Chains A and B, each alone.
Chain A
Amino acid sequence: MTLTKRIIPCLDVKNGRVVKGLHFESIKDAGDPVELAEKYSNEGADELVFLDITASDEQRKTIKDLVRKVATVIDIPFTVGGGVKSLEDARNILLNGADKVGINTGAIKNPQVITELMELFGRQCVVVAIDAKRNFDIQKDKNIFSENGKQFWFEVFIYGGKEATGIDVIEWAKKAEKLGAGEILLTSIDKDGTKDGYDILLNREIANSVSIPVIASGGCGKPDDMVDVFKKSNVDAALAASIFHYQTHGVNGVKMYLKDKQIPVRL
């Protein structure tokens, strides 16, 4: 036996509550973060990811208490991201009990922060989160792909999917690895909230471009979507939210299903 594929429930947290949106918008309440964390941990989740999508920096200060509460009730690793801009933000999260810190817009704005984090806390703490969207406006210097007769490249978006950067996702993932990222959390904006499966092409291309672990995110609506992404790409983990939050499937049920399909999982 060797390393298993990780199944990671994701909790988007807004003003202290877990919420779920579609295409990064239209928010719906999904419960209390600490209660859900404990539940998922007991059900066999391999790891948890918390993304703080609270609008203002002022309200975001509450994340510290949340991290502490979560760290008290669970004994599996967890990542906290959302609004992390500086070493100080990251430190605040890590010293209160999180194992890894997710950094997205902050890393695009100041890539050096990846290296600073790596040097201080170690590579394993640094998760670079990338929000990717297909751009059909073909530009010469980009990595071009085609599917169903259409050509496109993958563009990095920041500020919760609101702002395009013109940066190629493949190039950014490679650069993030070189700067000190320990893991890539890769979310497809096109697929997020659709429940019709992960963006296989995106996940395959990124997982083949870097040698650090990649977490597939965005689009999971059923256990078969996880089977699909694990069979067709070299990603190490699959992240999902709604299939867990709305009790469509328990974490353990999903993992039993994956095992049945010959995906190595921890049971």
Chain B
Amino acid sequence: MVHLAIFDYGAGNIFSLKNSLEKTGATVDVITNFDKPNIYSGLLLPGVGNFDPAIKSIRKSSKTDFNDYVKDTTPVLGICLGMEMFFEKSEEGNEKGLGVINGDVIILPSSMKVPHMGWNNLEIKKSGTILEGVNDSAWVYFVHSYSVKPTNNDVITAESDYGIKVPAVVEQGNFFGTQFHPEKSGKVGQIMIQNFLDVCKK
């Protein structure tokens, strides 16, 4: 049995994510700080809320630092905003990001409707843990107004076309991010959740 934690910033629907992890056979705790010992095989940063309040809830509700909690060992899946927080800073707010992946978060181009909301194709750039068993052009559900811009493009394993090439999946060490919502992306999403769980089992 895989034991996972979802960090709750207190700002929205984490029920669906919890439900989809449990369907895959995990036991899930919802945590609001990092002060208890890390007993989990994996951590999820969910994708609802705003950058500054979410970062503040991670930083200010705990005595323990995020980086000290997960180190380079606990697999972390950041979804949407959760993935954006991996980076150094965001145009959505003034707070510093978690800075575990180098790069910024920028607003989507104003030539397109924002938020980017709906089902879009994945363009797979290279193989990766999260994408195992996922076909090129698979449909996933996006809802976001900002997009990540990694300093090193090598961390991007899949993109999606929305006026610009939106990095859709990033992977670096024990950090995995999806700009879309796997828990809302039907069967394809469930495959990716299972892939993350498999990493956690190791």
Interface residues of A (CB under 8 A from B): 1-4, 6, 41, 46, 68, 71-72, 75-77, 94-99, 119-125, 182-183, 211-213, 236-237, 266
Contacts and interface: CB of A to CB of B under 8 A. Distances in A.
Given A46-B118, A97-B19, A75 B11 contact: no
A213 B113 contact: yes
Contact of A123 (B13, B115, B187, B189): B115
Nearest to B182: A75
B12 interface: yes
A236 B48 contact: no
Contact of B184 (A6, A75, A213): A75
Given A41-B186, A71-B15, A75-B16, 7 more contacts: A3-B118, A75-B183, A95-B13, A99-B13, A124-B117, A125-B12, A212-B115
B117 A236 contact: yes
Interface centre among A1, A68, A75 (most CB of B within 10 A): A75
A173 to B, nearest CB: 14
Interface residues on B, range: 35 or more
Given A46-B118, A237-B118, A120 B19 contact: no
Given A77-B184, A99-B13, A1 B137 contact: yes
A169 B16 CA distance: 34
A7 to B, nearest CB: 10
Closest 6 CB pairs of A and B: A97-B15, A266-B119, A124-B143, A266-B139, A1-B121, A121-B12
Contact of A2 (B49, B81, B161): B161
B89 interface: no
B162 interface: yes
A213 B117 contact: yes
Contacts of B144: 124
B45 to A, nearest CB: 14
B19 A119 contact: no
B183 to A, nearest CB: 7
B162 A122 contact: no
B185 interface: yes
B57 interface: no
Main secondary structure of the interface of A (DSSP, over half): loop
22 contacts: A1-B137, A1-B161, A4-B118, A4-B139, A71-B19, A77-B141, A94-B12, A96-B15, A97-B19, A99-B16, A99-B184, A119-B50, A121-B48, A121-B49, A122-B12, A122-B48, A125-B48, A182-B117, A213-B117, A236-B113, A237-B118, A266-B139
A77 B15 CA distance: 12
Contact of B162 (A3, A119, A183, A211): A3
Contact of B186 (A75, A97, A120, A237): A75
Contacts, number: 107
Interface of B: 11-13, 15-16, 19-20, 48-50, 53, 81, 110, 113-121, 137, 139, 141-145, 161-162, 181, 183-187, 189-190
B185 to A, nearest CB: 7
B26 to A, nearest CB: 15
Nearest to B20: A75
A6 B142 CA distance: 12
A72 B143 CA distance: 20
A183 B185 CA distance: 19
Contacts of B53: 120
Contact of A98 (B13, B120, B143): B13
B138 to A, nearest CB: 10
Contacts of A213: 113, 115, 117-118
Nearest to B54: A122
Given A75-B183, A76-B184, A124-B143, A4 B119 contact: yes
Nearest to B49: A122
Contacts of B185: 75-76
B47 to A, nearest CB: 9
A236 B15 contact: no
B189 A75 contact: yes
Contacts of A75: 16, 20, 183-187, 189-190
Contacts of A1: 120-121, 137, 161
Nearest to B137: A1
